[in-house]
A and B are shown apart, each in its own frame.
Chain A
Amino acid sequence: MEGKRHFLWGAAMAALVVGLVAGVSWAVYPDRPITMIANYTPGGSADLSARALAKYAEKQLGQPVAVVNKPGAAGSLGVGAIAAAKPDGYTIGLTTYGPLTMAPHMYDLPYNPLTDFEYIMGYGKYMYGPCVRGDSPLKTLKDLVDFAKANPGKIKYSHPGLATPNNFGMIYLARATGVKWEGITFKGAPEAVAACLGGHVDIVSQNPLDVVPYIKAGRLRLLASFCDTRWEWVPEVLTARELGYNFDVVSWLALGAPKGTPKPIMEKLRAIFKAAMSNAEFLEVMKNMYIPVVYRTGDEYKKFVEEGYKQNEKMVLELGLHKSQKAK
């Protein structure tokens, strides 16, 4: 009993001394487990990539990094939970592009994407592009545009949601070419793809993960990349810009922390997670998900968010989805 009390005293004194010497608590960061909030459901591409990063980082940090899923409201709930967390470096998470640049225009959210976050890095880029069925007579994007011009209102496309880059890409293309086509919202990527495979719509606007296997099997054909780069799995297909249409769409996978997280901690996290990106297991996951691994520093990502925030606001307004346009 006596011995135990002595030990406790000793430990307390030691802690005090360490604290005094270190001056501030983050010098020993991290001294307890870190929570990483994933703003999508378990098993999805965002979640799996976050888990792969966490697995590597916890070895480097010497503390467990627990991935906690907070899905809902298209990723906004999870991002909101990061913004609301204590900025001590023990809560970080996925700060993906959509909830930062799209959702704030549409809903009253408990966070401000421009002021409430410190970004660790951008680490993956979602790709977009339109596909037709493999047996479609429309071989190129020009065929599609010509057909749509000749048959106004005839072309229908499937997409996974109004306020998604998948839909925006088709709208930008229509605007650039002056054609009219109609989008049909499906509940998720698989249903949108199935609608095209079954011939119920002419085009499916989805991501590589959803369509590349079909492209390889000859069941679907990609007509263009809506991004600033070509799809690496179908390198012969040009980007919309290369084809003379002046637009691109983008979305990012990124990590961030609440605003006010001490700078030294941010630097440590940035260094460790940057290193995690060259981890073989992480690269494997990203390859399997068909998401190109692209590194952007926290500051670069912040700029993307600021630009995307402005650009998407215009689009959200035009679609009539802006929160100020809602009938109360």
Chain B
Amino acid sequence: MLPGIGPVGAMSLLLPTTLHVSPVGAIIMLAGIYYGAMYGGSTTSILVNIPGEAASVVTCLDGYQMARQGRAGPALGIAAFGSFIAGTASIVGLMLVAPPLAEAALKFGPPEYFALMVLGMTILIYLASGSIPKALMMAVVGIILGSVGIDATSGAQRFTFGILELNDGIGLVPLVMGLFGISEVLLNVEQSLRREIFKTRLKGLLPSRQDWRESAKPIARGSILGFFLGILPGGGALISSFVSYGIEKRFSKHPEKFGQGAIEGVAGPESANNSATGGAFIPLLTLGIPANVVMAMLLGALLIHGLQPGPMLMKNHPDLFWGVVTSMYVGNGLLLILNLPLIGIWVQVLRVPYRTLFPLILLFCLIGAYAVNYSKTDVLFMIAFGVVGYLMKKFQYEGAPLVLAYVLGPMLENALRQSLIMSNGSFGIFFTRPISAIGMVVAIFLVISPIMPWVGKKRPASREE
């Protein structure tokens, strides 16, 4: 719930305490923190425009706008329901098809990842609610920031300026907390007088029937998408939330509302990232392969208890597998039960005078940034990104494309270079393997298709200005 102290932070704080409970209990507890934090991340995104963890960056786009319009309640509500539905769906998926799916995920080699990343990059276009050139500029900045650190393939130090801490790159948490959290505080301090609009009446606490109608399909699509992307190693939750946003904007009858408080923009990504958490368990429990940092920590917890992750885990410890599955059902239900009544209270947070709220937010951001690596450098970076983010907001540059490019850029580059080593330098590898070929074709189609309406509609509009 605390911004920055996302799942990884919370879990590393609690990891030592798990030594004293049974293995199943420990895993269930850590898993509980995981989806608890995944859900909690959206609350701060919506209320104060500060993503609790990286996957909630997208939720800020429309969730915060909804809160500004006095619709914080429905936004939180749909996030809770969407998460619940998607979470439950992904558990059912986990139960039914875990082993074969895990095997299928192994088919994803570097070329397939490359195709997936290319597909992800095309979504950048949909993330921009304002100027496309500005979004592209931000994406380039994101790619540059993402390339900081030691290059895995050549071993070269890039943009590290001799600072050892930068060998591992710029941390995602300082980047996101700075760009979104600190900058938001700075901006609000400046405009504290204009914050009156926030105190407008709150129109209902729960999503209306109209909201439901608009959200049903995004939730369904988000659930399915998140589940499958979650299975793949490497940032499933984050990418699925971005991809879901892109898809919803593409399918929407009123894409212009995105970024202005469209409920679909909250429902889809929130469902996707919660569904991805379920999906992420599949490779861990069936193959012993952690799909992300959180899963790697769970792996560590298993090891502490002498449980051998890997192909034999499900056979030797069925109690663990079913324990996790059961706990996820219960956990999801509890999240809903806990969060729905709390919505009323969370919304009250908006009434807290900003002079009280902002030191608290700053404090949480500082703790969050420090807690990841116990590194002062991270804190300094977060503050620097806070200033950058503030300037970006002033000049209407958006942070979301930057974050997406920052995450995808290095993955794209790695996958490209790994693939080319595999193929001895031939680009044909992306088109001769079926899965990557499909991905590439879809990506090319996506790039071409929006150009038509963009050329057709936007140009005259800009001439009128």
Tell whether A pairs with B: yes
A23 part of interface (Cβ distance < 8 Å): no
- Which one of A8-16, A84-92, A190-198 is at the interface? A190-198
Scoring B residues 19 to 41 as 1 if CB is less than 8 Å from chain A, else 0, what string do you get? 00000000000000000000000
Report if A48-B300 is in contact (Cβ < 8 Å); known contacts: A153-B424, A185-B152.
yes
A108 touches B300 (CB 8 A): no
CB of B154 to closest CB in A, whole Å: 8
A73 touches B421 (CB 8 A): no
Report if A43-B299 is in contact (Cβ < 8 Å); known contacts: A187-B414, A198-B109, A216-B312.
yes
Q: Which of B15, B108, B155, B290 contacts A198 (CB 8 A)?
A: B108
A169 part of interface (Cβ distance < 8 Å): no
The total of chain B residues at the interface (CB under 8 A) is 47
- Which one of A56-64, A222-230, A284-292, A297-305 is at the interface? A284-292
Query: How far is B373's CA from A278's CA once the two chains are assembled, in angstroms?
Result: 31
- Which one of A120-128, A155-163, A244-252, A268-276 is at the interface? A155-163
- Which one of B66-74, B159-167, B195-203 is at the interface? B159-167
A73 touches B297 (CB 8 A): no
A186 part of interface (Cβ distance < 8 Å): yes
Query: How far is B228's CA from A37's CA once the two chains are assembled, in angstroms?
Result: 39
- Which one of A74-82, A235-243, A259-267 is at the interface? A74-82
Q: Which of B156, B168, B233, B300 contacts A72 (CB 8 A)?
A: B168
Report if A184-B421 is in contact (Cβ < 8 Å); known contacts: A77-B165, A213-B288.
yes
Query: How far is B382's CA from A11's CA once the two chains are assembled, in angstroms?
Result: 46
Query: How far is B296's CA from A288's CA once the two chains are assembled, in angstroms?
Result: 16
A76 touches B311 (CB 8 A): no
Query: How far is B108's CA from A161's CA once the two chains are assembled, in angstroms?
Result: 20
B361-397 contacts to A (CB < 8 Å): 373-375
B422 part of interface (Cβ distance < 8 Å): yes
Residues of B contacting A219 in the complex (Cβ-Cβ under 8 angstroms): 311
A188-234 contacts to B (CB < 8 Å): 188, 190-191, 193-195, 197-201, 213-214, 216-217, 219
B16 part of interface (Cβ distance < 8 Å): yes
B152 touches A213 (CB 8 A): no
Residues of A contacting B289 in the complex (Cβ-Cβ under 8 angstroms): 190-191, 193-194
A137 part of interface (Cβ distance < 8 Å): no
Q: Which of A182, A214, A289 contacts B421 (CB 8 A)?
A: A182
A173 part of interface (Cβ distance < 8 Å): no
Task: Tell me the nearest residue of chain B to A55, going by C-beta.
Answer: B19
Residues of B contacting A326 in the complex (Cβ-Cβ under 8 angstroms): 156-157
Residues of A contacting B153 in the complex (Cβ-Cβ under 8 angstroms): 162, 185
- Which one of B134-142, B180-188, B301-309 is at the interface? B301-309
B260 part of interface (Cβ distance < 8 Å): no
Task: Tell me the nearest residue of chain B to A44, going by C-beta.
Answer: B300
Query: How far is B418's CA from A278's CA once the two chains are assembled, in angstroms?
Result: 43
Q: Which of B164, B301, B414, B422 contacts A73 (CB 8 A)?
A: B164
CB of A255 to closest CB in B, whole Å: 19
B311 touches A156 (CB 8 A): no
Residues of A contacting B308 in the complex (Cβ-Cβ under 8 angstroms): 213, 288
A156 touches B421 (CB 8 A): yes
Residues of B contacting A107 in the complex (Cβ-Cβ under 8 angstroms): 157, 164, 167
B164 touches A198 (CB 8 A): no
B310 part of interface (Cβ distance < 8 Å): yes
B165 touches A184 (CB 8 A): no
Scoring B residues 403 to 424 as 1 if CB is less than 8 Å from chain A, else 0, what string do you get? 0000000000010001001101
B12 touches A42 (CB 8 A): yes
A172-186 contacts to B (CB < 8 Å): 182, 184-186
Task: Tell me the nearest residue of chain B to A319, going by C-beta.
Answer: B155
Scoring B residues 306 to 321 as 1 if CB is less than 8 Å from chain A, else 0, what string do you get? 1011111000000000
Query: How far is B289's CA from A198's CA once the two chains are assembled, in angstroms?
Result: 12
Residues of A contacting B234 in the complex (Cβ-Cβ under 8 angstroms): 187, 191
Query: How far is B306's CA from A73's CA once the two chains are assembled, in angstroms?
Result: 29
Residues of B contacting A71 in the complex (Cβ-Cβ under 8 angstroms): 373
Residues of B contacting A217 in the complex (Cβ-Cβ under 8 angstroms): 310-312
Residues of A contacting B164 in the complex (Cβ-Cβ under 8 angstroms): 72-73, 76-77, 80, 107, 109-110
Query: How far is B286's CA from A217's CA once the two chains are assembled, in angstroms?
Result: 12
B107 part of interface (Cβ distance < 8 Å): yes
Task: Tell me the nearest residue of chain B to A68, going by C-beta.
Answer: B374
A171 part of interface (Cβ distance < 8 Å): no
Residues of B contacting A287 in the complex (Cβ-Cβ under 8 angstroms): 306
Residues of A contacting B167 in the complex (Cβ-Cβ under 8 angstroms): 72-74, 76, 107
Give the bracket for the number of chain A residues in contact with chain B.
Answer: 35 or more
Query: How far is B16's CA from A185's CA once the two chains are assembled, in angstroms?
Result: 32
CB of B109 to closest CB in A, whole Å: 3
Query: How far is B311's CA from A219's CA once the two chains are assembled, in angstroms?
Result: 9
A42 touches B297 (CB 8 A): yes
CB of B412 to closest CB in A, whole Å: 13
Residues of B contacting A214 in the complex (Cβ-Cβ under 8 angstroms): 310-311
B124-161 contacts to A (CB < 8 Å): 152-157
Query: How far is B156's CA from A319's CA once the two chains are assembled, in angstroms?
Result: 11
Residues of B contacting A187 in the complex (Cβ-Cβ under 8 angstroms): 152, 234, 414
B374 touches A70 (CB 8 A): yes
Residues of B contacting A162 in the complex (Cβ-Cβ under 8 angstroms): 152-155
B106 part of interface (Cβ distance < 8 Å): yes
B290 touches A190 (CB 8 A): yes
Report if A156-B422 is in contact (Cβ < 8 Å); known contacts: A51-B16, A72-B375, A217-B311.
yes
Query: How far is B107's CA from A45's CA once the two chains are assembled, in angstroms?
Result: 28
CB of B292 to closest CB in A, whole Å: 10
CB of A162 to closest CB in B, whole Å: 4
A99-144 contacts to B (CB < 8 Å): 106-110
Query: How far is B288's CA from A109's CA once the two chains are assembled, in angstroms?
Result: 35
Residues of A contacting B299 in the complex (Cβ-Cβ under 8 angstroms): 43
A200 touches B422 (CB 8 A): yes
CB of A71 to closest CB in B, whole Å: 6
B174 part of interface (Cβ distance < 8 Å): no
B437 part of interface (Cβ distance < 8 Å): no
Residues of A contacting B309 in the complex (Cβ-Cβ under 8 angstroms): 213
B110 part of interface (Cβ distance < 8 Å): yes
CB of B258 to closest CB in A, whole Å: 33
B109 touches A200 (CB 8 A): yes
B306 touches A288 (CB 8 A): yes
Query: How far is B109's CA from A163's CA once the two chains are assembled, in angstroms?
Result: 23
Residues of A within 8 A of B (CB): 41-45, 47-48, 51, 68-74, 76-77, 80, 106-110, 153, 156, 161-163, 182, 184-188, 190-191, 193-195, 197-201, 213-214, 216-217, 219, 284-285, 287-289, 319-321, 326
Residue pairs across A and B with Cβ atoms less than 8 A apart, 25 shown, are A43-B15, A43-B300, A43-B303, A45-B303, A48-B300, A51-B16, A70-B373, A108-B162, A109-B164, A186-B418, A188-B296, A190-B288, A190-B289, A191-B234, A191-B289, A193-B289, A195-B109, A198-B107, A200-B422, A213-B312, A214-B311, A216-B312, A217-B310, A287-B306, A288-B304
**A72-B375, A186-B418 known; 4 other A-B pairs, CB under 8 Å?**
A42-B15, A42-B300, A77-B375, A284-B306
Q: What are the nearest 10 A-B pairs in CB distance?
A: A43-B300, A213-B310, A200-B109, A198-B106, A73-B167, A185-B152, A217-B311, A162-B155, A190-B289, A321-B155
